[in-house]
Amino acid sequence: MIMRRALALLCASLLVSGEATAAKPQPVGELPLNYTPAPDSDEAGLWMMSVEVEKGFRSSPLLVRDPALNAYVKSVVCKVAPDRCDAIRIYILDIPYFNAAMSPNGAMQVWTGLLLRAHNEAQLAYILGHETSHYTLRHTIDMWRRARSATGGLMVLTLLTAGIGALAAIGMMNSLMAHSRDEEREADEHGFLLASAAGYDPAQSAEIWRAEAAEDKVTPKHEDIFSFTHTHPAPEERLATMQKRAAELSQGHHEWIVNKGVYLDAVKAFRAHWLDEDVALGHYDASLLLLNELIANEPESGLLRFYQGELYRRRNAVGDPQNAVAAYQAAAQFADVPAAAFRGLGITQMKAGDKTAARQAFEKYLAVAPDAGDRAMVEYYLSHL
Beta strands at 89-93 and 107-111: parallel, antiparallel or unpaired: parallel
Q: For residue 13, what pLDDT is reported?
A: 43
Q: For residue 223, what pLDDT is reported?
A: 56
Express each pLDDT in 191-216 by its tens digit: 999 999 999 999 999 898 888 888 88
Q: Which of left, alpha, beta for 83 (phi over 0: left; psi -120 to 50: alpha)?
A: alpha
Give whole-number Cα distances, 325 to 169, 297, 344, 349, 359, in Å.
Answer: 40, 22, 8, 7, 14
pTM: 0.84
Mean pLDDT computed over 260-271: 98
Q: Is it the case that residue 35 has pLDDT exceeding 90?
A: no
Would you list the DSSP string of 210-279?
HHHHHHHHTS-GGGGGG-TTSSSPPHHHHHHHHHHHHHHHHTT----B--HHHHHHHHGGGHHHHHHHHH
Judged by average pLDDT, the poorest of 4-18, 165-179, 297-311 is 4-18
**Domains present along the chain, CATH in parentheses:** 2-250 (no CATH), 270-383 (1.25.40.10)
